[in-house]
């Protein structure tokens, strides 16, 4: 399935909460300077250490994120604002 995303909230630092076209929610960090997106949710991180990153496209967002419930995604979004 080709996913599309609608931004729900975006912080000044680039943290994004978005709704995917299948009804799931994702959280990622966006760098305008590098035009890249980065994984934020613990379940989206590679095993061991580090993070995933990709170009700021629907395909890139799909690469660095998994879909979650709205309540879990909002919780992660607010935890990462601090």
- Residues 54-81: pLDDT tens digits? 999 999 999 999 999 999 999 999 999 8
Per the listing, tokens 């709704």 go with 19
The answer, yes or no, to whether residue 1 has pLDDT greater than 80, is: no
The pLDDT value recorded for residue 58 is 96
Give residue 78's Cα distance to chain centre.
13
Q: What is the pLDDT of residues 13-22, one digit of tens each?
A: 999 999 999 9
Mean pLDDT of 2-18: 96
Count of domains forming the chain: 1
Which residues, at least 6 apart from 34, have a Cβ–Cβ distance to it below 8 Å? none
What number of other Cβ atoms are within 10 A of residue 24's Cβ? 17
Full domain range(s) for residue 9: 5-81
The pLDDT value recorded for residue 50 is 86
């Amino acid at each position: 399935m080709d996913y599309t995303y609608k931004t729900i909230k975006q912080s000044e630092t680039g943290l994004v909460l978005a709704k995917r076209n299948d009804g799931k929610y994702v959280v990622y960090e966006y760098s305008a300077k590098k035009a890249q997106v980065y994984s934020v949710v613990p379940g989206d991180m590679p095993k061991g250490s580090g993070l995933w990153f990709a170009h700021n496209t629907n395909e890139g967002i799909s690469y660095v994120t998994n879909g979650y419930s709205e309540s879990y995604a909002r919780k992660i979004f607010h935890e990462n604002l601090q």
